[in-house]
Each structure stands twice: as structure tokens, then as C-alpha cells.
Amino acid sequence: MGGIAFASASLIAFWSGWPLVPYAVLLLAIGSVVFGVIYRVKDDFKNAIWYITYIGFITLMSYIGDDGALSLINFYLASLIVAVVSVLVFYPWGIYSGIREEKLKDYDM
């Protein structure tokens, strides 16, 4: 069920279209930097590399997709690529990159 939800969320981000995706990525980057500075998140940056790559992938697909600036890939094929790559690459990578339970004890929550 988690994979289907992740693929659906990826498609929603992709389907939002090219003019909106770069603005959303910019806001996400600013929010991430602010969050990182406030909570001094630097030791676990490697855990976020998958997410940074994933956002770059969604941005690239929005740019080259049918609704994007280049229109190199038709809508259906681009949607299929986004769904498949999200489930087969980014979903497992994100799970693998998660902070393990024993490390959560180091955080004051």
C-alpha cells in the first residue's frame, strides 16, 4: 500500500505541471535549509540524499514531459516512467535511508 501511495504522490507532483514544479522546489529548498539550520541537522544529511535526488527527478520529468518546457515525452509515457521509477528506485531507497530506531534515541523529541 505504501508503494501505491508513493507512486500516487509522485504522479500528483508531476501532473502539477512545469510552471508550478520549480516554484514548489524552490519553496521546499528554502524550507529545508531553514529546518536544517534551526534543528542543526548536518550529521544525517546523507539520509536526505535520496529525497534531493527524487525532487530533482520529478523536476526533470516535469521539464521534459508533455506539459513541460521541452515536451519530449508524451503524457502517458512520462506518467508511466514517473510511477515506475518512483516505486522501483526512490521508494526502496527512501526506506533504506531512514533513520533507524536505535539512532532515534539520540534525538530529543
Distance CA 53, CA 59 (A): 10
CB 50 within 8 A of CB 94: yes
Q: Could you read off the pLDDT of 37-60 as tens digits, one per residue? A: 887 777 778 888 999 999 999 999
- Mean pLDDT of the 20-35 span: 90
Share of the chain above pLDDT 70, in %: 91
> Between the ranges 53-62, 65-74, 93-102, where is the mean pLDDT highest?
53-62
pTM of the model: 0.85
- Mean pLDDT of the 9-33 span: 92
DSSP 67: T
